[in-house]
Amino acid sequence: MVDFPAPLVPGDCDCTDLDGFMLNVERLMASELVALSSHEVVAAALFLWCRAWKQRPAASLPDDERVLAAYARLPLPRFRKIREEATHGFVKCSDGRLYHRVLAVEALKAYEKKLAFQNKRNGDADRLRKWRAERGASGPEWETTRQAVFRRDGGKCTACSSGSDLHCDHVVPASKGGKAEMHNLTTLCRKCHSRKTALQRHDEMPNEMAGEMHSVAEGQGQGQGQGQGQSKKERAEASASGGTPPLDITAVVFSTGLSWLKRATSKSDATCRGLLGKWRKELGDEALIATLGRAQREGVIDPVAWIEKVVISHKSASAHPKQGGWNL
């Protein structure tokens, strides 16, 4: 009897919603695999790592030659010849599965980070519930305010003009101290509201998580109204990536962003529209929304100067992209 080691990650370690792992390029290029193996073996190994990342538990593969051959994209007889080389680094564990030593370490790190983020988000939700209960944001007073906001906004979503399923949205989120007062409230339909929330969550994540979790955030709007007010290109991109159509971001910028900018700067409607248009070109829609959100939350005193600074650092960052590992 051979004694197999315990699995290298816990059974619930799940990275299936994280799109990539860090590939240590230096280590790979210096490895025996790359130095001594054929292109076919290197490719097969790479495919197996990617498959293992998306398995549950993460970083593991079933110990089944037919499955492994299919994952490595090779005919079974061919795979048998190179199996030992291509599965270098995988060890068989006591649950009968093969775990990759290096990938398991990456999977554990990513999984821990994901859990920490989820805990933080759950914490936000708890604080929001408490805050609402304390301020009566769910009581009769809140209902009166809500109705007043709907009346002020003409009974229409301020982002897409839809008149059905209306929500009263905090421009500065309640969890960030935004008050349930008329000037901080706006009318959004359910669809626009859930997408705005998804974008805000995206903005609050640590950078590297944001990229990985993007598909999760977008998935929250799943199945809701296909493609209103979106360009053909956006819809094509959305269906090509298998995701849901993206939010009509322009509408969000010009509904929540514009009214806030006018209030915060006391500049005219035309000037504020001009500024937003310029920043959109320089930052792109998503970064602009994130920047506006941050400026609102932090209550910056001179928003124009503050956002211009963000634009400048954005420009120099894109001129000197960060060096890093490959995200497969």
| Cβ distance to Zn ion smaller for residue 63 or 285 | 285
| Cβ distance to Zn ion smaller for residue 41 or 192 | 192
Determine if 194 is a binding residue for Zn ion (CB under 5 A): no
CB of 159 to Zn ion, least distance (A): 5
Determine if 192 is a binding residue for Zn ion (CB under 5 A): yes
The Cα–Cα gap between 196 and 217 comes to 10
| Cβ distance to Zn ion smaller for residue 55 or 186 | 186
Q: What tokens appear for 250 in the block?
A: 């322009």
CB of 183 to Zn ion, least distance (A): 20
CB of 154 to Zn ion, least distance (A): 13
x/- site string to Zn ion, residues 138 to 167, per CB under 5 A?
Answer: -------------------x-xx-x-----
The Cα–Cα gap between 65 and 21 comes to 25
Contact 279, 311 (CB under 8 A): yes
| Cβ distance to Zn ion smaller for residue 68 or 247 | 247
Q: What tokens appear for 110 in the block?
A: 């990513």
User: 87-99 b/e with 16+ CB inside 10 Å = b?
Assistant: bebbbebeeebbb
CB of 180 to Zn ion, least distance (A): 20
x/- site string to Zn ion, residues 245 to 284, per CB under 5 A?
Answer: ----------------------------------------
Q: Which stretch binds Zn ion (CB under 5 A): 130-138, 183-191, 279-287, 296-304?
A: 183-191
CB of 229 to Zn ion, least distance (A): 9
H-run or E-run covering 95? none
Q: Which stretch binds Zn ion (CB under 5 A): 29-37, 51-59, 68-76, 187-195?
A: 187-195
| Cβ distance to Zn ion smaller for residue 69 or 251 | 251
Contact 68, 61 (CB under 8 A): yes
| Cβ distance to Zn ion smaller for residue 255 or 296 | 255
The Cα–Cα gap between 154 and 113 comes to 44
Q: Which stretch binds Zn ion (CB under 5 A): 36-44, 171-179, 181-189, 318-326?
A: 181-189
Contact 169, 204 (CB under 8 A): no
The Cα–Cα gap between 153 and 161 comes to 10
Tell me the site size for Zn ion, rule CB under 5 A: 6
Where in 48-107 is the site for Zn ion (CB under 5 A)?
Answer: none
What is the separation, in whole angstroms, between the first and last Cα of the chain? 38
Q: Which of 130, 127, 65 is nearest to 92 (CA)?
A: 65
| Cβ distance to Zn ion smaller for residue 16 or 220 | 220
For residue 189, the 8-state DSSP code is E
Among the listed residues 166, 189, 253, 283, the single contact to Zn ion using CB under 5 A: 189
For residue 257, the 8-state DSSP code is I
The amino acid at residue 304 is V
The Cα–Cα gap between 122 and 260 comes to 28
| Cβ distance to Zn ion smaller for residue 192 or 292 | 192
The Cα–Cα gap between 69 and 40 comes to 12
CB of 193 to Zn ion, least distance (A): 8
| Cβ distance to Zn ion smaller for residue 58 or 189 | 189
| E-assigned strand segments in 125-250 | 166-170, 185-189
CB of 273 to Zn ion, least distance (A): 20
Site of interaction with Zn ion (CB under 5 A): 157, 159-160, 162, 189, 192
